[in-house]
């Protein structure tokens, strides 16, 4: 009986400790990052990644075709009717990036999957930032939270907030959502949910869109 009471007491102490930790994490807002860290294990399986192999092959075919045959497998025209505000408060138009491949990611600091995929996107930016325009569009109500998060994590990614209405093409109920626009202004990829974008397959896909 004494052992049973002792075990119950130990169990309640453990629950109390876990509960206290959970309260601290929620009170400080760190629960999002803890959950995001846990979800990175799922990202490593590759199960959440977009299937870009076929899209890469189609892009290569279209690039090799004569002008008269192009567009058979064409993607829809992307909307460039979008104004952004950068970290310094400058207004940036999406049209400023026309002619380049654009990686546009909708995210928020309160979104664990967004936090989970961010390190891989940052590594991708470090490698391909000169070739691809990265638009990390924060959905946080307070943009300063996004700026502080980026600085604390020491990410080099350019982040923005909305400075105009969002075109219907980019209205998604899911976060994160990623759009890739090719150099011809076509919407080449829409991926809802987190993914590991720092892969050889995805880099090959981006290069095929130039």
Quick one: pLDDT at residue 174? Answer: 94
Greatest C-alpha distance within the chain = 87
CATH of 42-208, one of 3.40.30.10, 2.30.290.10, 1.10.3470.10, 3.80.10.10: 3.40.30.10
Sheet of strand 159-162, all strands in order from the earlier edge strand to the far edge: 91-93, 83-85, 159-162, 132-138, 101-107, 177-181, 187-192
Quick one: pLDDT at residue 48? Answer: 72
Quick one: pLDDT at residue 142? Answer: 98
Hey, is 70 helix, strand or coil? coil
Quick one: pLDDT at residue 144? Answer: 98
Quick one: pLDDT at residue 47? Answer: 74
The model's pTM = 0.79
Which phi and psi (to 5°) does residue 73 adopt? -110, 35
Q: Are 16 and 22 in contact (CB under 8 A)?
A: no
Beta strand 83-85 with 91-93: parallel, antiparallel or unpaired?
antiparallel
Quick one: pLDDT at residue 65? Answer: 53
In the chain, which residues have pLDDT < 50? 4, 6-22, 24-25, 61, 68-69
């Amino acid at each position: 009986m004494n052992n049973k009471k002792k075990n119950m007491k130990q169990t309640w102490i453990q629950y109390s400790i876990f509960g206290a930790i959970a309260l601290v994490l929620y009170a400080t807002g760190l629960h999002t990052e803890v959950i995001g860290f846990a979800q990175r294990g799922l990202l490593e399986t590759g199960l959440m990644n977009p299937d870009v192999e076929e899209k890469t092959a189609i892009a290569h075919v279209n690039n090799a075709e004569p002008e008269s045959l192009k567009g058979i497998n064409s993607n829809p025209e992307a909307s460039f009717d979008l104004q952004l505000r950068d970290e310094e408060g400058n207004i940036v138009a999406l049209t400023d990036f026309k002619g380049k491949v654009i990686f546009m990611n909708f995210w928020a600091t309160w979104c664990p999957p967004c936090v989970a995929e961010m390190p891989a996107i940052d590594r991708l930016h470090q490698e391909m930032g000169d070739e691809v325009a990265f638009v990390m569009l924060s959905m946080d109500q307070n943009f300063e939270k996004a700026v502080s998060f980026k600085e604390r994590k020491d990410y080099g990614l350019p982040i923005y907030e909305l400075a105009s209405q969002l075109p219907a093409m980019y209205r998604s109920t899911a976060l994160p959502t990623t759009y890739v626009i090719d150099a011809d202004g076509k919407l080449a990829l829409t991926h809802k949910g987190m993914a590991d974008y720092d892969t050889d397959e995805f880099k090959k896909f981006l290069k095929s869109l130039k």
